[in-house]
Amino acid sequence: PRRLGRPRSTDLREVVNALLYIATTGCQWRMMPRDFPPFTTVQSYFYEWRATGLWGRINPHLVMEAR
């Protein structure tokens, strides 16, 4: 299938890394180090993934991997 829209310019692995950084350090969105994508981008992905239930669907798989 052909993809619609423009190609993604943000590396999703970097978004996940930023979210893990926030979760482990308690850092505020705006105070994230510049090594990560812009906080607005990371925040947008987080809210989108939360709204679609992505975290709830992948959590059991992550738990099984950690065991």
Q: Residue 30 belongs to what domain range?
A: 12-66
Is 34:21 a contact under the CB 8 Å cutoff? no
In sequence order, what DSSP letters do the residues of 6-61 get, joined into one string? PPP-S-HHHHHHHHHHHHHH---GGG--TTSSPHHHHHHHHHHHHHTTHHHHHHHH
Q: Is residue 2 part of a domain?
A: no
Q: Is residue 4 part of a domain?
A: no
Q: Is residue 58 part of a domain?
A: yes
Reading the block at residue 41, the tokens are 């981008």
> Average pLDDT of each block of 10 consecutive residues along the chain (67 residues)?
79 96 96 96 96 92 86
Longest Cα separation, the chain: 40
pLDDT at 4: 80
Q: Is residue 56 part of a domain?
A: yes
pLDDT at 66: 84
Q: How many domains does the chain divide into?
A: 1
pLDDT at 5: 81
pLDDT at 47: 96
Q: Is residue 1 part of a domain?
A: no
Q: Is residue 23 part of a domain?
A: yes
CA gap 63, 6 in Å, rounded: 34
